[in-house]
Amino acid sequence: MELIFATNNRNKAEEIQQMLPDTIRVLTLKDVGIEQDIPERQSTLEGNASEKAHFIYERYGRDCFADDTGLEVAALGGAPGVYSARYAGSDKDPQANMDKVLEQLKGEDNRRACFRTVISMILEGEEMFFEGVVEGRLLREKKGDAGFGYDPIFLPEGSSLTFAQMSMEEKNRISHRSRAIMKLANYLRQYSQHL
């Protein structure tokens, strides 16, 4: 069975492939020769993931899935959320994005935040969603230089290290993305037994 993942990020696709049974093959957009930009115009993570999956399904009629992730900060009413990648501008600069969040939280004691990943999968024409959340809080300064995005300011609950101070394995054990992928993988494992 083949599933198209609406991404060109080989690493993301590989990470998911490793969690799935051998009978399921994850293909990237490049693998299947899709070169168009996939639209992400919605105002929620669910909306964007769904829009990307539908884009593939409606054009190619193939089983597929898409993901979207955001950092949701309680004191900012859930921002940057769906706008996480370009919070400080269209050049998607992670340092500027973190600086903007830290500036907005200056003097704020409520540091609660979470990362949330939503996956939309369309299988035999039916759409379903999987969600992964990791709760935590935001520091007042950046710590660590591994990872990407907002990792240096995010301290996951129960940890004394930020995501940027962890190895990739440590982060993957608890991350929002892994949690969503795990749910997708569990579903597909059961589904593939009935094929």
Task: List contacts with ligand IMP (CB under 6 A).
Answer: 68-71, 84-85, 115, 147-151, 163, 175
Least distance to ligand IMP from the beta carbon of 195, Å? 29
Least distance to ligand IMP from the beta carbon of 61, Å? 25
Q: Give the whole-angstrom CA distance, residue 102 versus residue 108.
A: 10
Q: Give the whole-angstrom CA distance, residue 63 versus residue 7.
A: 14
Alpha-carbon torsion, ordered 37, 39, 99, 162, to 10 deg: -90
Active site residue 91: no
Nearer to ligand IMP, 91 or 126 (CB): 91
Residue nearest to ligand IMP (CB): 149
Task: Give the residue carrying structure tokens 């050049």.
Answer: 91
The stretches of 133-175 forming alpha helices (DSSP H) are 168-174
Residue from 63, 68, 99, 109 carrying the catalytic annotation: 68
Nearer to ligand IMP, 63 or 151 (CB): 151
Nearer to ligand IMP, 144 or 191 (CB): 144
Kindly list the catalytic residues. Answer: 68
